[in-house]
Structure formats: structure tokens, C-alpha cells
Amino acid sequence: MVAAAKRPVFHVGRGIRQGGPKLIELSQKLQIPIIQTGLTKGMIDEDYEGNIGFVNRAGSKSANEIMDIADLVIALGADFPFANNVYTRHDFKFIQVDNDEAEFGRHHYIDLGIWSDATQFVEKMLTRATAVAPTPFFKAAVADNRNWQGYLQKLATRETAPLEFEPLYQALNQVTNPQTVVALDVGDNTINLLRYLKVTPTNKWTVSALFASMGAGIPGAIAGALEYPDRQIVSISGDGAFSMVMQDLITEKKYHLPILNIVTSNTTLGFIRDEQADIPGMHDYSGIDLEDQDFQKIAAGMGIEGATVTKSSELAAAFAKAIEVTSAGRPFVLNAKITLKRGFPVEALKVKIVDGRVQETVAPEFNANDAEQSVATLDDLFAYYDGEELKPLQYFLDQERVQL
Ligand SMILES: Cc1ncc(C[n+]2csc(CCOP(=O)(O)OP(=O)(O)O)c2C)c(N)n1
């Protein structure tokens, strides 16, 4: 099946565990790009060129596009609860490798099921498979992802006043280390963490993944601090989620838990706002506005130190102070007042193959609530998100002369 496929991809879940390096070897040997499920963030080196990221709303443009033209998906230890959003967009052959038989066919009709631990399967494949020469499809996937990564890098490294979320993550990456434990809350930060946070196999991070319960950030960080007293602990929450549980900052103080609490404050339930933007004819937003709050003062009221940043030039000093305080064994609140903006909406991309070419368009429901400016063409979409350098998938397929 692999030999017969023209555009195979791996879709890798947490079953891969420590097997990331082996999988990279196999990906190189067979020229199969790697797409990850969100919860495997950190398990597969993101600097590996063939790792093109995540699918679905929090994912990369490249992984979503490549998934949409794959003719073979090899799922490795992946329970992918969002399959209905992604696996149903086009037809492909499906090989599922899983150590739990009950998982077979749960998310897609299987053409071949292999009952195995994912990493053991990868190791066997490595010994049995014959290396293939670099393929145009693989090269196109790599180039597509480079284009996307370059765009993210631009957003993360530019000065912004008022503050945008990308430089915040960039600044956080400067002060974390391979031992850092991150407790992520639910909201736009779910997207931002997957796209911008540096996570290595030795880091740990947690999120309420399946129930997606807001308010898990601070409790997750408290658990992390108790479980890993020698590690740096960070919580990241939006202002909506933070407000639900911020009374537990006093618990951090009481038990001397040196947690760096980051709250991204945009006075909105941003994740939901962006969903409402895509509801045709809604004409407005509903129930998403939050009151502005001074989280630094609230923390101060509990005897907890903090800082407030409103532009990217203030980040370095604020993080330096945060590290000083947490290194001395005390919690800290970093109140990051960010602009209200939607991260690049990969969910707006509609990709399908028509007459041997990729037809890529903007989904009609994108910004269809009438409260937002409508964006009709792909170029308009790229420009709207400061991504003039972004190219549609067909551009990279043409460059590598991929025949569909
Ligand atoms: C307990 C709970 N209520 C509601 C939701 C639905 N929900 C998902 S994200 C979100 C908004 C999060 O807003 P905020 O914490 O301000 O973060 P932002 O998205 O603005 O970064 C909501 C309401 C949820 N996941 N959990």
C-alpha cells in the first residue's frame, strides 16, 4: 500500500511515546511527511523538516493542506477525536496501527489494521523497508511548511505595540528550559501553544484536551509544582479562563509554589468570538465580552508579585522580573494585555483536487456573521493576516513538479 501510494502521510498520536527519533528515520527513509495530533506536541522534533505540524483549527497551514491531498494516511497510535473535522474532507486509504484493538475503525474505515505498539511497528518498518529516493511530494510538503514556519517566525519576532500574542510566546521561549512544565488553559492559547511554544521531549505540558474545560491552567500548574518541585512551572490562560480560578493564586502563595502565571488578556472569550465570526448571518457577537481587570493588582492584593505588559518592548524586563521572583521560590503573575486578533484561520482553507490541480479557496462561512469584513480570495486572506509571503499549496507542487 505504501509503495502504491503517491501522497502518503503519517498521522501520529501519543502511542509513539519515546519513538519520535525512530519515526523521523522512517519518515526520511520512506519520504513520508509526519503530521501530529495536538497532544504529541514535543514528542517529535519540530526542527525536523519532514514534521509539518498539526491538522485542524490549531494546526499549521501546511499540515492541513497536505492532509487534504493525501492518498494514504497511516495513523500511528493516534486516537484523533477531531477526525470528523479532518478525515471526512476527502477520500484516502487508511492504515491504522494501534495496540488497542477497540480503536480500529473508530475514526475512519480501515483498509488495513495492524495490532501493534506504534514504536515497535516503526522499528520493524525501519528494518524491512527499502529506502526511496527523495520524492517531489515530500519536498513540496517540506517547502510548504517552511513557508508557513517563516510566516510564524515573522509574527513572533516583530515588535508590536499594542502587544500581540506571538512575541509573548517568543519571549516565553527565551526563559523556559528543557525541564519546564507548562499547564495550558483552554482558549486561543491552545492554538498559540501548538504553533509557538518550544517543547522538547523532556518538557511536560498539560491541557484539558477532550473535555476542553476552561480553568484547568492554574490547577494544572499547582499539580505540576507539587509533582515536580525542582522544575520551572508555567501556567498560561486567557482572561476568561484565568478569572474562573484565579482565587487559587493564594494557594500558590500559601504553599510557596513558584509558578509563573501568564494571563493573556484581550477582554474577550476570543476562541468563541472567532467561532461566532463564522456563523453565517449572525450579524453580531453574543456573550463574549469580558470586563477589563487589573490582574497585577488582584495578585498584589494576595501578596503576589506581578508585572503588566502592553507592548512587546516590555516583555524582556517583565520576564526577567518573573524569573527573578520565581527563582526565589515565589509565584508571579504576568498580566499580558494583548490585542484582540484571530490567529491565522487554517480552518478557512478549502483544499481539493480538481482535474489534476489543487483548488484552494476561502470557505464561504469564513467571517460570514456580517460583523466582520468578508474575505473572498486566498490572496486577500493571506494579506488580511499579514501573510503576503504565504503561498497556496499548488505553488509548491508546481515548484517540485508534483503530478496529482
Ligand atoms: C468550562 C468551560 N466553559 C466554556 C467553554 C467553551 N470555551 C472554549 S474556549 C472559550 C473562551 C476562552 O476565553 P479566554 O479564556 O478569555 O481565552 P481566549 O480564547 O480569549 O484566549 C470558551 C468559553 C469551555 N471550554 N469550558
Same domain, 92 and 241: no
Q: Does 190 contact ligand 1 (Cβ within 6 A)? A: no
What is the rounded CA–CA span in Å between residue 243 and residue 360?
40
The CATH code of the domain that includes 215 is: 3.40.50.970
pLDDT band at residue 354, thresholds of 50, 70 and 90?
Answer: very high
- Indicate whether 399 belongs to any domain: no
Q: Does 266 contact ligand 1 (Cβ within 6 A)? A: yes
pLDDT tens readout for residues 205-263: 999 998 899 999 999 999 999 999 999 999 999 999 999 999 999 999 999 999 999 99
Same domain, 101 and 131: yes
The CATH code of the domain that includes 56 is: 3.40.50.1220
Angle between helix 136-157 and helix 188-196 axes, rounded to 10 deg: 110
- Indicate whether 372 belongs to any domain: no
Q: Does 272 contact ligand 1 (Cβ within 6 A)? A: yes
Which among 320, 337, 354 is the end of a domain?
337
Residue 295 belongs to domain spanning: 161-337
- Indicate whether 344 belongs to any domain: no
What is the rounded CA–CA span in Å between residue 199 and residue 262?
17
Residue 352: helix, strand or coil by DSSP?
strand
**What does the block give as the cell for 164?**
500581540
pLDDT band at residue 52, thresholds of 50, 70 and 90?
Answer: very high
Tell me, what amino acid is at 84? Answer: N
Q: Is the peptide bond before 136 cis (omega within 30 degrees of 0)?
A: no
Q: Does 399 contact ligand 1 (Cβ within 6 A)? A: no
Closest ligand 1 atom, residue 215 Cα: 1
Candidates 196, 271, 285: which one to mutate for ligand 1, based on the most atoms within 8 Å of Cβ?
Answer: 271
| pTM check: above 0.85 | yes
Same domain, 96 and 123: yes
Residue 250: helix, strand or coil by DSSP?
helix
Is residue 11 over pLDDT 90?
A: yes
**What does the block give as the cell for 67?**
492532509
Distance from Cα 308 to the centre of ligand 1, integer Å: 22
- Indicate whether 367 belongs to any domain: no
Same domain, 111 and 62: yes
pLDDT band at residue 21, thresholds of 50, 70 and 90?
Answer: very high
Which among 287, 317, 337 is the end of a domain?
337
CB atoms near residue 377 (< 10 Å):
10
Closest ligand 1 atom, residue 192 Cα: 21
Number of domains in the chain: 2
Distance from Cα 216 to the centre of ligand 1, integer Å: 11
Candidates 166, 169, 189, 269: which one to mutate for ligand 1, based on the most atoms within 8 Å of Cβ?
Answer: 269
| Cβ neighbours for 132, distance < 8 A, ≥ 6 positions apart | 29, 30, 31
CB atoms near residue 243 (< 10 Å):
19
- Indicate whether 378 belongs to any domain: no
User: In Å, how far from its chain's centre is CA 162?
Assistant: 23
Q: Does 343 contact ligand 1 (Cβ within 6 A)? A: no
H or E element, residue 262: strand 259-265
- Indicate whether 56 belongs to any domain: yes
Same domain, 95 and 174: no
- Indicate whether 373 belongs to any domain: no
pLDDT tens readout for residues 132-189: 999 999 999 999 999 999 999 999 999 999 999 999 999 999 999 999 999 999 999 9
Same domain, 206 and 104: no
Same domain, 98 and 177: no
Mean pLDDT of the chain: 97
Name the nearest CA neighbour of 220 among 186, 255, 179. Answer: 186
Predicted pLDDT of residue 270:
98
